[in-house]
Amino acid sequence: MHDMVLEVVNRLLLPFIQLFGMYILFHGHLSPGGGFSGGAVIGASLILYSLTFRFARVKHRLDHDTSVFFEAAGALIYVAIGFVGLFFGYNFLTNRGVFPLGVPGQLWSSGMILIITLALGAKVSGTILSLFQELLEGGSDEHGNP
C-alpha cells in the first residue's frame, strides 16, 4: 500500500527532524537538552521512516544488527571514557584534570560532557529503534520459529 502523501511529506520532513535532533545533541552543554532528548528525537525519526516505507524496504539498511551495534557502542564508549580518568591517576569518570575544559560558552568546551552526550545519543536512539523492531516482529511461536 503506497500512500503518496505520506511518502512525499516524509521525504521532505525527515532531514529537518534529524538536523534538529543533532542540534539538541551537539548543544547539550549550552542549552536545554542533552543526551536523552536528542537521542529520543533521532530515534523517533527512524521509527517514522520504518513505519512509512513498509518494513521490507527498510530492512537492508536499518535491520536489527545495526541498531544493536549502536546501542552497545554507546555504552562501551561511556565506560571507556571513565577508565581514561583511572589511567591518569585520578578517580573513575573525572573531568577536570584529564580532559581539556576550554572556555565556558563555546561549542568545543567541557571535555568529557560533550563526548558522553554523543555516546548517550547513539545509545538512546539505538535502544528506541531496537525495541520497536523487536515488538513489531513479535518473537517466536510455539515451535521455536521466528
Partner 1 sequence: MEILERLYGNIYYLTSVILFVIGFHTMLTHRNLIKKLMALNIMDTAIFLFFVAIGYRQGGQAPILLPGVTSFVNPVPSALILTGIVISVSFTAFALALVVLLYKHYGTLDSDEIIAIRGKKHV
Partner 2 sequence: MKKVLPVLVLAAIGMLLVLTVAEMPTFGDGQAPAHRGVMDKYLRDSAQDTGAINTIAAIILDYRAYDTLGEATVLFVAVLAVSAALYQGEHHA
Binding site for partner 2 (CB under 8 A): 28-32, 34-35, 68, 71-72, 74-75, 78-79, 82, 92-93, 95-96, 101-105, 109-113, 116-117, 120, 123-124, 127, 130-131, 134-135, 137-140, 144-146
Whole-number Å distance between alpha carbons of 91 and 84: 9
The contacts of residue 120 (CB under 8 Å, 6+ apart) are 34, 35, 36, 39, 74, 78
Judged by beta carbon, residue 1 or residue 135, the one nearer partner 1 is: 135
Whole-number Å distance between alpha carbons of 78 and 67: 17
Which amino acid appears at position 33 of this protein?
Answer: G
Task: Tell me which of partner 2, partner 1, none is bound by residue 89, counting a contact when its beta carbon lies within the kind-specific cut-off of 5 to 8 angstroms.
Answer: none
Query: 86 to 145, contacts with partner 1 by CB under 8 A?
Result: 104, 131, 134-135, 138-139, 141
- 47 contacts partner 1 (rule: CB under 8 A): no
Whole-number Å distance between alpha carbons of 24 and 34: 6
Whole-number Å distance between alpha carbons of 1 and 104: 52
Q: Which residues bind partner 1 (CB under 8 A)?
A: 30-32, 36, 104, 131, 134-135, 138-139, 141
